[in-house]
Chain A
Amino acid sequence: MTRPRFDMGRLLAVARKEVIQLRRDTRSLVLAFLLPVLLLILFGYAITWDVTDVSTVVVDHDQSTRSRELVDAFRSSRYFTVAPELDRTAEIAPLLDRGGAQLALVIPPGFGADLESGRPAPLQAVVDGSDANTAGIILNYTQGVVRTYDTRVRFAGQTLAPPVQVRSRVWYNEELRSRNMIVPGLVAVIMMIIAAMLTSLTIAREWERGTMEQLAATPVTRSEVVLGKLLPYLGIGLADVAITSLLGVWLFQVPFRGDPVLLTILTTAFIVGALGLGMFISAATRSQLLATQVAMVLTFLPAFLLSGFMYAIDIMPRALQAITYLVPARYFLVVTRGIFLKGVGMDELRTQGLLMIAFGALGLFLAIRVFRKEIR
């Protein structure tokens, strides 16, 4: 078999043609440039796992100085928003049912007196448990406020510090804001969307429209076609990463502590892998509809659900955890979050970096390998 020489001119001709077609395709342009911004704003503003401003109601049967001090302690915490007091315990249930309150504190009669005389002073907290995760966090915060108040009362007037005191400090995401986790992760998800919704169509479309036959009759080689088609999407991908990162930093004050060059290099490898995978699916199915569906299942969904973007991998069932090792986005998330939040360099990211480059090479290999110019 004669092996034709690799020709940059032909590759660029394919790339230029692809750009012209993309420019005229509104659907693709929306997917490429509007969707990432939309996702960023959606996740940045609307979807957040932070628990703040817990709407709190109080029934104070004690009406003592101590009970009022405790309520004030809640009022002054930024995690709670305390509504005007209720008169009767019976009013709590309907409020929680309606979602009018997330937390109800019931202070029993004699609370202040018990506290003064050093007896145990019980306190009731009723939490809306319909979202177990949020409920747990609210209870933790509640106990925190109560414990602080308790300490203050018991050691009032003494200069002695409490025997053991934990001073916790959170690193990397100091304010525990979920946005800080989301923005770096979104980069991976957006790349997979481009791979699934745009790249997966590009070769299948040529088969469906019959243009592949004319292409096949020219001396263009399969690596020229695959690389030529990949180039514009790589450009879109990198532009999206830049847009997402800049918006994340400016709009949502996500810290960027690492090296932008390193991020660009590893992101490029990841994008090439994702696009190659999309193109592989496109060439293998030869049908636009089928290609999109397969690509959604193989690229987008795992990146969204199993990469650690939406759900922490640690809390997944064992079987699912095992699957996540096969999801490239899982490793890419370590890269982006590491560079954004921790400012780590190539030393810390050696494994993930090599995996990204391996993924990029695999994607390209698969796409070029499966792509056949021969007409069946």
Chain B
Amino acid sequence: MSAVEVAGLTKRFGQFTAVDQVSFDVRVGEVFGFLGPNGAGKTTTIKMLTGLILPTAGRGTVAGFDIMTETEAIKSRIGYMSQLFSLYGDLTVEENIGFFSGLNGVPRGKRDARRDWVLEISGLGDHRTRLTRELPLGWKQRLALGCAVLHEPSLLFLDEPTSGVDPISRRSFWDLIASLAATGTTVFVSTHYMEEAEYCDRLSLMNRGRLIALDTPAGLRAGYREPILELTVDNASRAADALQDNPVVLDAGMYGRLIHAAVRDLEEARATLPGFLSEHGIALSDMREIAPSLEDVFVSLVRAEGGAPP
């Protein structure tokens, strides 16, 4: 049985179609990455899966329950952490844990043990009596994750949990996700950080409300057909602008002071680009082919699907 199984999932808000005929399934026990540019429909999809909004059309099950008719049963079996921090700032760490224990029906006898466990995994044991609003964002997010898994759900939905969190905290947050997954929890996580995508067992990519790719990170890279050239130039930003207009270049973007250019034909590009750049007064010191990163894959996929929403 799949943890999540949806077919033709659609949500319209008036004239606007936020999610358009999306079908996929999530296997039990996997870390399922959900990627896409802002406005792609990720959050709307997650809200439909967690029973927060009802789909306009389509069908599906989450943890074996129908997303159209059994939303309340779903809610008691999943953990959910929303995009924005949504614990109570005027409650202490402990009080927030206690409140969500009560709401999620953690049995009275297990509450202390669960509380201690959450304090331990979130590393907030020494701050249990502090008001939540005083904590740094990274700590708040770990606490929110802890509150979402108090009732030991088998399926966990995280909507951009590390958005705005510094890299070190992000790293420790993903360690937490990994340890939950290791105990058999299925994790459905949306993100827009590419390095986080690498931690997922499988990745799906949404753009303009539609699901445009679904595979393992390795599979996605393998399916990538366009060669990537890495260029070392003296003025990366001017070079990126100029290359956008070159017919052999599909896309060019800056990676720090380097340029990554996806090209239509490797040999043609190698032959013409040095001359093209020097015509624009840009000095090229190095040009080599590189393996595509996941970001390259996604940029290319999104481009092929008509670009990101405005």
Contacts and interface: CB of A to CB of B under 8 A. Distances in A.
B88 A21 contact: yes
Contact of A220 (B85, B87, B91, B103): B103
B88 A219 contact: no
Contacts of B100: 214, 218
A21 B104 contact: no
Contacts of B90: 20-21, 24-25
B76 A219 contact: yes
A2 B72 contact: yes
Contacts of A12: 102
A12 B101 CA distance: 12
Contact of A10 (B50, B51, B103): B103
Contact of A17 (B75, B91, B108): B91
B59 to A, nearest CB: 15
B95 interface: yes
Given A2-B69, A213-B52, A375-B47, A218 B87 contact: no
B53 interface: yes
Which of the listed residues A214, A221, A373, A374 has the most CB atoms from chain B within 10 Å of its own CB? A214
Interface of A: 1-4, 7, 9-10, 12-14, 16-17, 20-21, 24-25, 209-221, 373-375
A218 B75 contact: yes
Of all A-B residue pairs in the complex, the 9 with the closest CB atoms, nearest first, are: A13-B102, A217-B80, A214-B86, A219-B76, A218-B103, A4-B72, A210-B86, A213-B82, A210-B84
B70 interface: yes
Given A209-B86, A214-B86, 6 more contacts: A13-B101, A17-B88, A20-B91, A211-B86, A217-B50, A374-B53
B104 A219 contact: yes
B53 A211 contact: no
Nearest to A218: B103
Nearest to B69: A1
Given A210-B84, A219-B76, A374-B52, A13 B69 contact: no
B73 interface: yes
B86 A20 contact: no
B117 interface: no
A372 to B, nearest CB: 11
Given A21-B88, A213-B52, A213-B86, A2 B102 contact: no
B99 interface: yes
A2 B73 contact: yes
A342 to B, nearest CB: 45
Which of A7, A211, A212 lies at the interface centre, i.e. has the most chain B CB atoms within 10 A of its CB?
A211
A203 to B, nearest CB: 14
A18 to B, nearest CB: 10
Contacts of B281: none
Contact of B99 (A2, A13, A213, A219): A13
Contact of B91 (A2, A3, A7, A21): A21
11 contacts: A2-B69, A14-B103, A20-B90, A20-B91, A214-B80, A214-B100, A216-B52, A217-B51, A217-B82, A219-B76, A373-B52
Nearest to A374: B53
B39 interface: no
Contacts of B104: 218-219
B54 A219 contact: no
B103 A13 contact: yes
A211 B50 contact: no
Among B78, B91, B99, the one with the most A-chain Cβ atoms within 10 Å of its Cβ is B99
A220 B98 CA distance: 15
Contacts of A13: 98-99, 101-103
B133 to A, nearest CB: 10
B93 to A, nearest CB: 13
B271 to A, nearest CB: 55
